[in-house]
């Protein structure tokens, strides 16, 4: 057994974390429920994208009620706007139950706090959604609402990952002496993807017929797409060169690359379809479908990059610790 393998065998993981020691007993049902919450949050992002793409943001002029009722007639754009509220309420309930479950049964304090952060995020998200209606869709608030939705999705995906039984299993460490360090590449790529989603949300909301000021055009979004493409290609290529045999890193890297290709195609399709149908009296089905798919694949791209980043950091051995490992005598097995 080499020194790196012995390091993990002794229960030390990325950044000095203990892994594989049995100290944390994962609850498989908690993990499954957290996965359901993440899936429901993804569906909520789709529902929100439908509202924007259908120009249905002010179809219901009041909040928290809808036309002064809990259940208005689900006709026309009211279906999309009130439907989005119903899905958001359901996700809020699921998140509340998840936070309670984590607080009662999860032994890791940082995971419990992450559950509370998710609960706070969904409450703030609901408040921002109400403000967008009451103040007639102010662009900064609308963009903040969209971006917080992506961050909330990241929180739920993280909780599903952290509660997985595989999270505590032993895995070969990532040497910190290699340059560029893979965790740093992953962080930079994830941040770039999120900033690209911010630019996308700004462009999407500023192109509404009633929008004015503070918006951005398509050019920053195109520049962001180029930066993200470089980052994803560099990160995925690094994983394939250094860790081709480690499936827990290879799989999300390959998924990330594939999602980026789909995202680029969907983005081009959504933009050109929007330009071709901009004189239409109402949003066309092709434009709505491509725009919603573009938002959905953007969220999945961000989540894939986040999963890869978290898995890398879990196994990362900083350069100083890596040098100490190299100086340790090899343990020879008969």
In terms of domains, do 161 and 195 share one?
A: no
Distance in angstroms (rounded) separating the CA atoms of residues 270 and 293: 9
Mark which of 169, 192, 220 sits at the end of a domain.
169
Mark which of 111, 144, 169 sits at the end of a domain.
169
In terms of domains, do 194 and 151 share one?
A: no
**Is 2 domain-assigned?**
no
Three-point CA angle 244, 245, 251, nearest 5°:
70
Share of the chain above pLDDT 70, in %: 83
Q: Residue 65: which domain range?
A: 26-169
On the question of pLDDT at 210 being above 90, the answer is: no
In terms of domains, do 241 and 260 share one?
A: yes
In terms of domains, do 289 and 180 share one?
A: yes
pLDDT tens-digit profile of 28-38?
999 999 999 99
In terms of domains, do 193 and 299 share one?
A: yes
**Is 243 domain-assigned?**
yes
In terms of domains, do 202 and 148 share one?
A: no
Count of domains for the chain = 2
**Is 17 domain-assigned?**
no
In terms of domains, do 180 and 160 share one?
A: no
Share of the chain above pLDDT 90, in %: 55
**Is 92 domain-assigned?**
yes
Distance in angstroms (rounded) separating the CA atoms of residues 151 and 121: 8
Mark which of 134, 169, 204 sits at the end of a domain.
169
Three-point CA angle 216, 217, 222, nearest 5°:
110
pLDDT tens-digit profile of 176-204?
656 788 899 999 999 999 999 999 988 88
**Is 10 domain-assigned?**
no
In terms of domains, do 89 and 197 share one?
A: no
In terms of domains, do 178 and 312 share one?
A: yes
pLDDT tens-digit profile of 74-97?
988 899 999 999 999 999 999 999
Q: Where are the alpha helices (DSSP H) in the chain?
A: 3-9, 28-53, 78-105, 109-134, 139-162, 182-206, 218-242, 247-276, 285-315, 319-327
On the question of pLDDT at 169 being above 70, the answer is: yes
Q: What is the pLDDT of residue 96?
A: 98
**Is 4 domain-assigned?**
no
**Is 139 domain-assigned?**
yes
Q: Is 69 helix (H, G, I), strand (E, B) or coil?
A: strand
Q: What is the reported pTM? A: 0.84
In terms of domains, do 179 and 161 share one?
A: no
Distance in angstroms (rounded) separating the CA atoms of residues 100 and 109: 13
**Is 6 domain-assigned?**
no
Q: Which candidate, 261, 262, 258, 257, places its Cα nearest to that of 238? A: 257
On the question of pLDDT at 256 being above 60, the answer is: yes
In terms of domains, do 43 and 149 share one?
A: yes
- Retrieve residue 83's tokens: 């439907």
In terms of domains, do 160 and 220 share one?
A: no
């Amino acid at each position: 057994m080499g020194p790196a393998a012995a390091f993990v065998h002794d229960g030390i993981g990325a950044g000095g974390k203990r892994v594989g020691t049995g100290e944390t007993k994962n609850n498989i049902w908690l993990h499954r429920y957290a996965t359901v919450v993440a899936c429901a949050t993804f569906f909520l992002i789709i529902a929100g994208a439908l509202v924007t793409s259908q120009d249905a943001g002010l179809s219901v002029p009041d909040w928290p009620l809808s036309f002064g009722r809990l259940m208005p007639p689900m006709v026309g754009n009211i279906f999309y706007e009130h439907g989005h509220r119903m899905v958001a309420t359901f996700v809020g309930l699921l998140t509340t139950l998840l936070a309670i479950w984590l607080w009662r049964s999860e032994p890791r304090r940082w995971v419990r706090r992450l559950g509370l952060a998710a609960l706070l995020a969904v409450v703030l998200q609901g408040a921002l959604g109400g403000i967008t209606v009451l103040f007639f869709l102010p662009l900064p608030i609308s963009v903040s609402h969209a971006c917080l939705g992506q961050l909330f999705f990241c929180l739920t995906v993280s909780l599903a990952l952290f509660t997985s039984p595989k999270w505590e299993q032993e895995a070969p460490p990532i040497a910190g002496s290699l340059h560029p360090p893979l965790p740093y590449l992953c962080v930079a790529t994830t941040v770039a993807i999120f900033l690209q989603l911010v630019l996308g949300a700004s462009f999407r909301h500023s192109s509404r017929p009633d929008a004015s000021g503070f918006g951005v055009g398509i050019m920053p979004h195109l520049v962001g797409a180029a930066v993200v493409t470089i980052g994803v290609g560099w990160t995925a290529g690094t994983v394939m060169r250094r860790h081709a045999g480690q499936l827990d890193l290879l799989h999300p890297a390959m998924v990330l690359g594939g999602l980026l290709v789909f995202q680029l195609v969907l983005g081009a399709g959504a933009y050109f379809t929007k330009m071709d149908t901009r004189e239409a009296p109402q949003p066309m089905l092709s434009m709505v479908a491509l725009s919603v798919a573009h938002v959905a694949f953007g969220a999945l791209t961000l989540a894939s990059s986040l999963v890869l980043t978290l898995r890398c950091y879990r196994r990362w051995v900083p350069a100083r610790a890596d040098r100490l490992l190299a100086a340790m005598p090899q343990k020879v097995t008969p």
